[in-house]
């Protein structure tokens, strides 16, 4: 078996994990690695861009790090660290190919990386391979100063050090029998990139000769301070407070050693972190909530990701965000079980009551939280902990944190963002267990711009909208539930602004620009006045737009542009019609299929589709067939793990692979009354044969039911479908351009990538040229062509789409009045000239500059 001893079960033979030159650790250009503080082993100067398993083992990932991981083997833990100081790259250029806890065989691909990027941005690409941790054996038979390929013999690990540690351990048992000395301290992490490999190794080395057992705790996780890997798994970042407990005769010396590396916190700060005022409550923080991060200077502009567009002027309102206490067990598992059940029921009743009075995104989020709360798996795990003697609070927290950690480890960032929903319901139940309301009222100053690490949905819903001007979070993502809520409320919101946003003092004047993705700190009076005037003008414009929303959108020269709505729930349809929607250009049917154990049957689908059709009152209903698989897996559809879900079995490919699922959905659509109101839209089409297959199924189903076949259209989401548009138009009745995926696949940028997402813009000339080609093909065949991606809801880009020949826009319902009003100011000839200039532009940023200049000139 590769990577295992043959005839010597006590020896583990390691294979080269990458191609390159093998070097001794002493030649690594870093004192921590070169000095052996992080562990014994070798280094490789790579000549390729892949890292493989040197032996069999279990993968242990280090939080969000992509540049390093640990392989747990029978001889100890192996740390594989690509490059030196690569933590500063923030994961750019690295792709993890394995998951936390995955069992791998020798030679398995672990990490792919861009070697050119590492060489350009890191001090060195030299990659240490180190044996770390208390179980580590003895490195022997190293083969240095030579070139290796992946899989070549590298070195062996013998049992010597294991035996030596066992002997040392017997003495430790004797010492433990003596009365222990236990001391506690708190330290702040001072390192720019947190407690990563090198500082963790320094801490472990500083404690090596001290007779003490030291445990770190941070983020509700504990770690042996002698284990660099365990410390890295804490996920402690710069500025985080780590509590340390040292026991043994050298406890005082251990804390002193930690103080020489970490920033020691005074006693007052230790107690402040757990003071009654901060536990279980939320309020406006004092200016020194995050004293280790320097407050931004007046006039500073913090770059962030736009979660909900808009502008706001107001005062900083930092939010104190502390975990509720879990409480001690009362000695009777039955009592704890009853307490937990009552608390869960109380939170569930509140969620149902709030959902009953809500609609749209608000109701959807509350329904999702109730579904999580009712998850039997969460309850079963908590009940098991109760049987082990845990308190109701401790059992619930452990169950929710375990589930959150599982989601955070997934490759899909959208799923990882759902951990905030788990944290939300965790806190609500804990508050009820403590005799408090599920969510405490948060007092805000007037025109508050809330600053928080990450805002939970229940927190946002509890804020007074009359006092709330905007939200900016240091972390979080643009597809989180709280971001969706903010957009539905018309609340400007920025996310991922970084720790500097948390260092802004309460009351500091701010301008939140969720159009350009910036938070302006203490801007000039003139800047505040300018933005305030823009906000007032927008409010007046919004009033006028809503008043005219029910009127048709005709350009100045009489061209009709239909403005439809995108829908994802029954409750969204009626308000969209009131807001001026001329129909539904995209019904995302995934809401019926995801997060359930069995697929919805034909009757359930028909009832849902019919309710939406009825709410649209005769207006067209465009139903996209199930767009799942790959990045949106279904529990009831077996599917192997895919290395790249975006390029795997998803969209129409999934439906065709599950014909019974597809036929049930098509039958439900055909049966919607009145006939002719609904039409079918196919996602992720790349081939003519796929469309022809579905057309046959629709015609066969319609004939069997004695009903007319609905119109059939396809999404243009890939370069393949765009380039084949002239052929596809001969097979379908309409086209709909999905700009999000079309841009992603054309530009080869993952739209969920933390670094590339900001650069992914559908106005890139290459994407626009594909759109222009599609529109030309549709017009030649005399069929409708629309757009339903984010580009259609982008007010700046609407003139561009009109100029390219798009005559149907399916948009977020809240955008309908504004877009209709804008269309009435346009002339198609002017838009065509604008589009031609955009097609000739060199980049997306150049197109954006062109659009801004064109808009300002018209104003």
Q: Is 501 helix (H, G, I), strand (E, B) or coil?
A: helix
Distance CA 496, CA 303 (A): 8
Report DSSP letters for 612-666, one per residue.
Answer: HHHHTTTSEEEEEPP--BTTB--TTS-----S-GGGSS-THHHHHHSHHHHHHHH
Chain-centroid distance, C-alpha 624: 25
Catalytic residue among 481, 584, 729, 831: 481
Contacts of residue 708, Cβ cutoff 8 Å, sequence gap at least 6? 675, 676, 702
> What are the Cα distances from residue 167, in Å, to 9, 40, 140, 157, 225?
21, 20, 20, 19, 21
Distance CA 746, CA 114 (A): 20
**Facing residues of 52 across strands?**
109
Distance CA 769, CA 590 (A): 30
> Is 290 noted as a catalytic residue in this protein?
no
Q: Are 32 and 86 in contact (CB under 8 A)?
A: no
Determine how β-strand 562-567 pairs with β-strand 808-811.
parallel
> What are the Cα distances from residue 461, in Å, to 363, 365, 448, 570, 654?
11, 11, 15, 22, 37
Distance CA 808, CA 600 (A): 31
Q: Are 637 and 661 in contact (CB under 8 A)?
A: yes
> Is 788 noted as a catalytic residue in this protein?
yes
**Facing residues of 302 across strands?**
519
Please choose, from the candidates 463, 483, 326, the residue with its C-alpha nearest in 3D space to the C-alpha of residue 420: 483
Backbone phi and psi for residue 645, each to the nearest 5 degrees, phi listed first = -55, -30
Determine how β-strand 784-787 pairs with β-strand 20-24.
unpaired
Catalytic residue among 97, 584, 729, 788: 788
How many CB atoms are located within 10 Å of the residue 173 CB? 8
Q: Could you give the angle at the alpha carbon of 387 between the alpha carbons of 383 and 393, nearest 5°? A: 55
How many CB atoms are located within 10 Å of the residue 305 CB? 19
- Token pair, residue 12, equals 């583990």
> What are the Cα distances from residue 198, in Å, to 34, 36, 377, 588, 680?
11, 11, 38, 47, 56
Q: Are 33 and 25 in contact (CB under 8 A)?
A: yes
Classify residue 853 as exposed, middle or buried by CB count within 10 Å of its CB (0-12, 13-18, 19+). Answer: exposed
Helices (H), 782-815: 790-793, 798-804
Residues serving a catalytic function are: 481, 788
């Amino acid at each position: 078996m590769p990577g295992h001893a043959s005839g010597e079960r006590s020896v583990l033979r390691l294979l080269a994990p990458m191609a390159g030159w093998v070097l001794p650790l002493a030649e690594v250009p870093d004192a921590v690695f070169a000095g052996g503080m992080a562990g014994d082993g070798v280094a490789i100067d790579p000549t390729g861009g892949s890292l493989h398993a040197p032996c069999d083992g279990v993968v242990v990932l280090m939080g969000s790090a992509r540049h390093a991981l640990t392989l747990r083997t029978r001889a100890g833990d192996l740390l594989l660290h690509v490059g030196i100081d690569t933590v500063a790259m923030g994961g750019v250029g690295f792709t993890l190919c394995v998951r936390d806890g995955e069992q791998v065989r020798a030679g398995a691909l672990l990490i792919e990386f861009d070697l050119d990027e590492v060489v350009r941005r890191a001090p060195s690409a030299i990659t240490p391979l180190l044996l770390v941790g208390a179980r580590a054996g003895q490195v022997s038979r190293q083969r240095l100063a030579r070139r290796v390929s992946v899989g070549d013999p590298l070195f062996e690990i013998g049992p010597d050090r294991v035996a030596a540690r066992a002997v040392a351990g017997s003495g430790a048992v004797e010492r433990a029998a003596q009365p222990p000395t236990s001391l506690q301290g708190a330290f702040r992490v001072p390192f720019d990139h947190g407690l990563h490999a090198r500082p963790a190794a320094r801490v472990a080395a500083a404690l090596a000769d001290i007779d003490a057992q030291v445990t770190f705790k941070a983020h509700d996780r504990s770690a042996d301070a002698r284990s660099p890997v365990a410390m890295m798994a804490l996920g402690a970042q710069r500025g985080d407070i780590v509590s340390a407990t040292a026991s043994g005769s050298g406890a005082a010396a251990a804390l002193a050693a930690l103080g020489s590396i970490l920033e020691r916190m005074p006693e007052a700060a230790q107690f402040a972190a757990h003071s009654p005022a901060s536990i279980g409550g939320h309020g406006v923080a004092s200016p020194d909530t995050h004293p280790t991060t320097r407050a931004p200077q007046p006039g500073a502009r913090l770059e962030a990701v736009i979660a909900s567009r808009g502008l706001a002027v107001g005062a900083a309102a930092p939010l104190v965000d502390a975990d509720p206490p879990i409480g001690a067990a009362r000695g009777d598992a039955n009592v704890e079980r009853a307490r937990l059940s009552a608390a869960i029921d109380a939170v569930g009743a509140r969620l149902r009551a709030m959902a009953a009075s809500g609609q749209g995104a608000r109701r959807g989020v509350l329904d999702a939280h109730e579904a999580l709360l009712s998850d039997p798996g969460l309850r079963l795990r908590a009940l098991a902990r109760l049987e082990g003697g845990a308190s109701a609070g401790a059992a619930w927290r452990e169950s929710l944190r375990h589930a959150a950690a599982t989601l955070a480890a997934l490759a899909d960032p959208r799923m990882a963002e759902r951990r905030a929903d788990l944290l939300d319901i965790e806190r609500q139940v804990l508050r009820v267990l403590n005799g408090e309301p599920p969510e405490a009222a948060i007092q805000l100053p007037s025109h508050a711009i809330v600053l928080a690490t990450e805002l939970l949905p229940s927190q946002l819903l509890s804020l007074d909208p009359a006092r709330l001007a905007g939200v900016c979070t240091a972390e979080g993502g643009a597809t989180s539930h709280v971001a969706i809520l903010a957009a539905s409320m018309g609340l400007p919101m920025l996310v991922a602004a970084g720790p500097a946003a948390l260092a802004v003092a309460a009351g500091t004047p701010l301008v939140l620009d969720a159009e350009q993705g910036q938070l302006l700190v203490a801007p000039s009076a003139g800047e505040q006045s300018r933005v305030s005037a823009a906000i007032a003008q927008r409010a007046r414009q919004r009033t006028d737009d809503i008043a005219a929303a029910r009127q048709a959108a005709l350009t100045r020269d009489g061209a009709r542009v239909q403005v439809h709505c995108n829908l994802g729930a029954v409750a969204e349809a009626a308000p969209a019609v009131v807001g001026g929607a001329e129909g539904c250009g995209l019904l995302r049917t995934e809401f019926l299929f995801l997060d359930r154990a069995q697929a919805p049957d034909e009757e359930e689908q028909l009832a849902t589709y019919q309710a939406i059709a009825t709410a649209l009152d005769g207006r067209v209903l465009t139903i996209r067939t199930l767009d799942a698989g790959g990045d949106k897996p279904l529990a009831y559809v077996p599917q192997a793990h895919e290395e790249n879900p975006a390029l795997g079995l998803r969209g129409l490919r999934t439906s065709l692979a599950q014909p019974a699922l597809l036929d049930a959905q098509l039958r439900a659509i055909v049966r919607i009354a009145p006939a002719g109101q609904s039409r079918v839209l196919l996602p992720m089409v790349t081939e003519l044969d796929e469309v022809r297959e579905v057309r046959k199924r629709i015609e066969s189903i319609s004939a069997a039911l004695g009903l007319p076949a609905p119109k059939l259209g396809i999404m243009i989401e890939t370069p393949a479908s765009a380039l084949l548009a002239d052929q596809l138009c001969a097979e379908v009745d309409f086209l709909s351009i999905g700009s999000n995926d079309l841009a992603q696949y054309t530009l080869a940028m993952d739209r969920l990538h933390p670094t590339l997402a900001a650069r992914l813009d559908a106005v890139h000339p290459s994407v626009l040229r594909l759109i222009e080609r599609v529109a030309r093909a549709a017009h030649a065949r005399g069929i409708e062509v629309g757009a339903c991606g984010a580009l259609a809801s982008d007010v700046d880009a609407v003139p561009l789409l009109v100029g390219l020949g798009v005559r149907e826009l399916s948009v977020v319902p809240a955008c309908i009045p504004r877009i209709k009003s804008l269309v009435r100011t346009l002339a198609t000839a002017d838009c065509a000239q604008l589009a031609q200039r955009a097609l000739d532009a060199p980049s997306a940023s150049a197109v954006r500059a062109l659009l801004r200049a064109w808009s300002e000139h018209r104003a």
